[in-house]
Chain A
Amino acid sequence: MQFQLPEELQKKQMELREFLDKEIRPVADARDAQGPLSREELKDFILKLRHMGYVTGPTRRQYGGLGHGYLERVIYEEEMARVWPGLAATVGTHSGVAAHIIRSGTEEMRARLTKPMHDGDIIACDMMSEPQAGSDTTNFRCTAILEGDYYIVNGQKMWQTNGPWADVGLLLAISDPEAYAKDPRQGTVNLLVEKSVSPWKVRDLPLIGLKAGMTGHFVFENVSVPKENLITTEGYKENLIGRGWARVAVAAWGLGLMQAALEDSIDWCKKRIAFGRPIGGFQLVQEMIADMATDLACSRLLTYRAAEMMDAGIRCDLEQNMAKAFATEVGKRVTDKAIQIHGARGLTTQEGFRLERYYRDTVTGQIAEGTIQIVKLVMGRRLLGISAIR
Chain B
Amino acid sequence: MTIMLFQLPEELQRLQSDLREFLDREIRPIADVRDAQGPLSRAELKDLFLKLTPITQMQLEAATKRRMLSWMIFSEEMARVWTSLAVTVTTSLGTIFYLASRAPEHMRARLIKGGLEGDIIGCDMMSEPEAGSDTGNLKTTARLEGDYYVVNGQKMWPTNGPWADVGILSAVADPEAYAKNRREGVIHLIVEKAVSPWQVRDLPFIGLRAGTTGHFIFENCRVPKENLIADSSKGYSQNLAGRGGARIGVAAYGLGIMQAALEDSIDWCKKRIAFGRPIGGFQLVQEMIADMATDLECSRLLVYLAAELMDSGARCDLEQNMAKAFVTEVAKRVTDKAIQIHGARGLTTQEGFRLERYYRDAVTGQIGEGTIQIVKLVMARRILGISAVV
Q: Which residues of A contact B (CB under 8 A)?
A: 1-6, 266, 269-270, 278, 280-283, 285-287, 289-291, 293-294, 297-298, 301-302, 304-305, 308-309, 311-312, 318-319, 321-322, 325-326, 373, 376-377, 379-381, 383-389
Do B384 and A280 touch (CB < 8 A)? Answer: yes
Do A385 and B384 touch (CB < 8 A)? Answer: no
Which positions 254-290 of chain B face chain A at CB distance < 8 Å? 266, 269-270, 278, 280-283, 285-287, 289-290
Do A308 and B5 touch (CB < 8 A)? Answer: yes
Do B283 and A377 touch (CB < 8 A)? Answer: yes
Q: How far is the CA of A326 from the CA of B301 in the complex (A)?
A: 14
Do B289 and A290 touch (CB < 8 A)? Answer: no
Q: How far is the CA of A195 from the CA of B319 in the complex (A)?
A: 51
Which positions 286-327 of chain B face chain A at CB distance < 8 Å? 286-287, 289-291, 293-294, 297-298, 301-302, 304-305, 308-309, 312, 318-319, 321-322, 325-326
Do B383 and A289 touch (CB < 8 A)? Answer: yes
Do B266 and A384 touch (CB < 8 A)? Answer: yes
Do B380 and A286 touch (CB < 8 A)? Answer: yes
The answer to whether B8 has its CB under 8 Å from any CB of chain A is yes
**Which of chain A's residues have a CB closer than 8 A to the CB of B319?**
297
The answer to whether B352 has its CB under 8 Å from any CB of chain A is no
Knowing A376-B286, A376-B290, A383-B293 are in contact, say whether A2-B325 is a contact too (CB < 8 A). Answer: no
Do A270 and B386 touch (CB < 8 A)? Answer: yes
**Which of chain B's residues have a CB closer than 8 A to the CB of A3?**
5-6, 301, 304-305, 308
| Ranked 4 nearest A-B pairs via Cβ | A380-B286, A286-B380, A305-B6, A301-B301
Q: How far is the CA of A280 from the CA of B293 in the complex (A)?
A: 33
Knowing A3-B305, A301-B301 are in contact, say whether A322-B294 is a contact too (CB < 8 A). Answer: yes
**Which of chain B's residues have a CB closer than 8 A to the CB of A1?**
5, 308-309, 312
Which of B269, B298, B379 is the most central at the interface, judged by chain A CB atoms within 10 Å of its CB? B298
Q: How far is the CA of A385 from the CA of B267 in the complex (A)?
A: 11
Which positions 345-390 of chain B face chain A at CB distance < 8 Å? 373, 376-377, 379-381, 383-389
Knowing A380-B286, A380-B290 are in contact, say whether A298-B326 is a contact too (CB < 8 A). Answer: yes
**Which of chain B's residues have a CB closer than 8 A to the CB of A294?**
302, 322, 325-326, 379
Q: How far is the CA of A4 from the CA of B3 in the complex (A)?
A: 13
**Which of chain B's residues have a CB closer than 8 A to the CB of A385?**
270
Knowing A322-B294, A383-B266 are in contact, say whether A308-B4 is a contact too (CB < 8 A). Answer: yes
**Which of chain B's residues have a CB closer than 8 A to the CB of A305?**
6-7, 301
Can you identify 22 A-B contacts, CB atoms within 8 angstroms? A2-B69, A3-B5, A3-B304, A269-B384, A280-B388, A281-B387, A286-B384, A286-B388, A287-B380, A291-B376, A293-B318, A293-B379, A298-B326, A302-B294, A326-B294, A376-B286, A377-B290, A384-B269, A384-B270, A385-B270, A386-B269, A388-B286
The answer to whether B64 has its CB under 8 Å from any CB of chain A is no
**Which of chain A's residues have a CB closer than 8 A to the CB of B280?**
380, 384, 386, 388
Q: How far is the CA of A3 from the CA of B300 in the complex (A)?
A: 10
In the complex, besides A290-B376, A298-B301, 8 extra interface pairs with C-beta distance below 8 angstroms are A1-B309, A6-B5, A281-B386, A285-B380, A293-B379, A301-B298, A376-B286, A379-B290
Q: Which residues of B contact A (CB under 8 A)?
A: 2, 4-9, 69, 266, 269-270, 278, 280-283, 285-287, 289-291, 293-294, 297-298, 301-302, 304-305, 308-309, 312, 318-319, 321-322, 325-326, 373, 376-377, 379-381, 383-389
Q: Which residue of B lies closest to A295 (CB)?
A: B326
**Which of chain A's residues have a CB closer than 8 A to the CB of B269?**
384, 386
Q: A318 to nearest B CB, angstroms?
A: 8
Do B7 and A387 touch (CB < 8 A)? Answer: no
Q: How far is the CA of A311 from the CA of B7 in the complex (A)?
A: 13
Do B289 and A281 touch (CB < 8 A)? Answer: no
Knowing A280-B384, A383-B266 are in contact, say whether A325-B290 is a contact too (CB < 8 A). Answer: yes
Do A293 and B322 touch (CB < 8 A)? Answer: yes
Q: How far is the CA of A318 from the CA of B319 in the complex (A)?
A: 25
Q: A290 to nearest B CB, angstroms?
A: 4
Q: How far is the CA of A281 from the CA of B384 in the complex (A)?
A: 9
Q: How far is the CA of A40 from the CA of B55 in the complex (A)?
A: 66
User: B325 is contacted by which of A283, A290, A377 (Cβ under 8 Å)?
Assistant: A290
